[in-house]
Amino acid sequence: MEMEIFMSDWLHCNQLSNYVARMVSHDRSDPVRHANLLSSALNELFEISFRSGCAPGRLHCNISRGDNLERIALTFPCASEQHHLYRDATAHASGGGALQRYLEALADENSAQEDIVLLGLAVNYDASLSLQEVDDQALTVVLDIPVEGLLN
């Protein structure tokens, strides 16, 4: 999808996440639960791409299914000056101590939204994150979520 079209309305985040989640959840053991969890995670990723504020380019979402994981790879335009925000947030969400960093970020009004969102995904969805710099003007956030194995 062209980023300009995506960014023309905040509701696109919710609409796209619901649509995609329903499409890929139809054959799961509990499709409604699976779609709800996946939609929430997708919505968070769409929102951080929306907040990047970079309209020229394309938004690309790829979802693949492994044995126990859903992999979401979201590529979106992002100015090179902003790449460090996503690198830092991904580093904070990886490894030990993510829960403590998440709680601290929630309590700190100066925390970057990227930190809060990516830490929240890692903590609340038991997700692992990685970041790929496509070029100077785009990033791919890769999120692995064990949706079928989540208890709540």
Q: What are the tens digits of pLDDT across the range 3-47?
A: 888 888 888 888 999 999 999 888 888 889 889 988 999 999 999
**What radius of gyration, in Å, describes the C-alpha atoms of the chain?**
15
Q: What are the tens digits of pLDDT across the range 38-63?
A: 899 999 999 988 888 776 889 999 99
Q: What pLDDT is recorded for position 40? A: 92
Match 């979201």 to its residue by tokens: 74
DSSP per residue over 66-84, as a string? Answer: -SS-EEEEEEEE--GGGHH
Where in the chain are the domains? 3-149
State the pTM of this model: 0.87
Given CATH 3.30.565, say whether it is the number of domain 3-149: yes
Mean pLDDT of the chain: 87
Which residue type does 72 have?
I
Percentage, residues of the chain above pLDDT 90: 30
Q: Say if residue 145 is exposed, middle or buried (CB neighbours under 10 Å; 0-12, 13-18, 19+).
A: buried
The Cα–Cα gap between 139 and 74 comes to 8
